[in-house]
Amino acid sequence: MTTANETDLDRALGFTIPDRHARGRMVRLGPVLDSILQAHAYPPAIEALLAEALTLTALIGSTLKDAGGQLTMQTQTQNGVVTLLVCDYRGGELRGYIQYDADKLADAPEKPTLFALFGTGYLAITFDHAATGERYQGIVPLDGESLADAAQNYFVQSEQIPTLVRVGFVRDANGHHLAGGLFLQHLPEGEEGRDRIHTRLDHPEWEHVAVLGSTMSRDELTDPALTLETLVWRLFNEEEEVRILAELPLAKGCRCTQDYIAQVIAKFPIEEQREMADENGVITVDCAFCSRKFPLQVGEIVS
């Protein structure tokens, strides 16, 4: 367990408030965020957007009960700066990247709005459950002032679960990236054996929890000297009971390897492999997530 004297980075912490029928998750990212962002040298506005997206992915993905399950968050955009944003989470591992139009970004304000970044856009959140093989996807418009607002709307609209999302991101004096997030939900009363219809946005228990959660500041979320347990205590120390769940370490996870890519390329006929290769008979595959190149020699690729 992290103590108050240690930097509290790259982990998620869950908690429940039984008397309020609420659950929550807190996340803080540090070196993991550095590793992902520095691979691409994004401009500040794009860097901040991906940091927010990765924090949201960690917050939501770490709620998966299926250890082999995967959460993918992706945007569909039209006429905005960003042409593609995709992040995913599996087993505590995060990855993500953004494609964007540099010319449109140059014409945008220093701190572009969500509409300037995405134009007419949609946020898709996909849950893949490894244990059952089931896949579920929900899509909502990219409305609001931030990506966190859109994610919050996803749960309210698609899941009909009252939800509060808060995300903060900073770059410190040494150039290191720090991000933190808070995710709160009012549990459907059906989960306690009652009718789900009783879950509603104006439920007094939820209003109380949401008001407290809204007081969490960006500075608190991104301060590694404040443990996640401390933040939970600051918010809910007057509640009769708050149960802290097992913490979860977070790491950068790109699943591309030389062997995996060779297996994919081996599925193509040899003629098509030769068409992919350069004059030296080498196929070079770029991984958009980790910005690495994987060279493969045609003729040496075996399935």
Partners of 5 in the β-ladder: none
Beta-strand pair 292-297/177-186: unpaired
> CA 21, 54, 52, 216 torsion: positive or negative?
positive
Per the CB < 8 A criterion, the answer to whether 162 and 215 are in contact is no
Mean pLDDT of the chain: 86
Percent of the chain's residues with pLDDT above 70: 86
The rounded distance, in Å, linking the Cα atoms of 130 and 68 is 5
Q: Is the pLDDT of residue 287 over 80?
A: no
Q: Has residue 214 got a pLDDT over 50?
A: yes
- Cβ–Cβ under 8 Å, residues 189 and 198: yes
What pLDDT, on the 0 to 100 scale, is given for residue 196? 42
The CB density around residue 160, as the number of other CB atoms within 10 Å, is 13
String of b and e for 58-92 (b: at least 16 CB within 10 Å)?
bbbbbbbeeeebbbbbbbebeebbbeebbbbbbeb
Positive or negative: CA dihedral 244, 230, 181, 197: positive
Q: Say what the pTM is.
A: 0.85
Alpha-carbon distance of 197 to 219, in angstroms, equals 37
Q: Which of 11, 15, 50 shows the shortest CA–CA distance to 28? A: 11
Residues 6 or more apart from 138 whose CB is under 8 A from it? 124, 125, 154, 158, 159
Across the range 204-224, mean pLDDT stands at: 93
- Could you tell me the pLDDT band of residue 76, with boundaries at 50, 70 and 90? confident
Q: How many CB atoms lie within 10 A of CB 40?
A: 17
Full set of structural domains in the chain with CATH: 11-252 (3.55.30.10), 258-297 (no CATH)
Which burial class, exposed, middle or buried, applies to 28 when counting CB atoms under 10 A from its CB (0-12, 13-18, 19+)? buried
pLDDT at 107 over 90: yes
Alpha carbons 249 and 11: distance in angstroms, whole number: 4
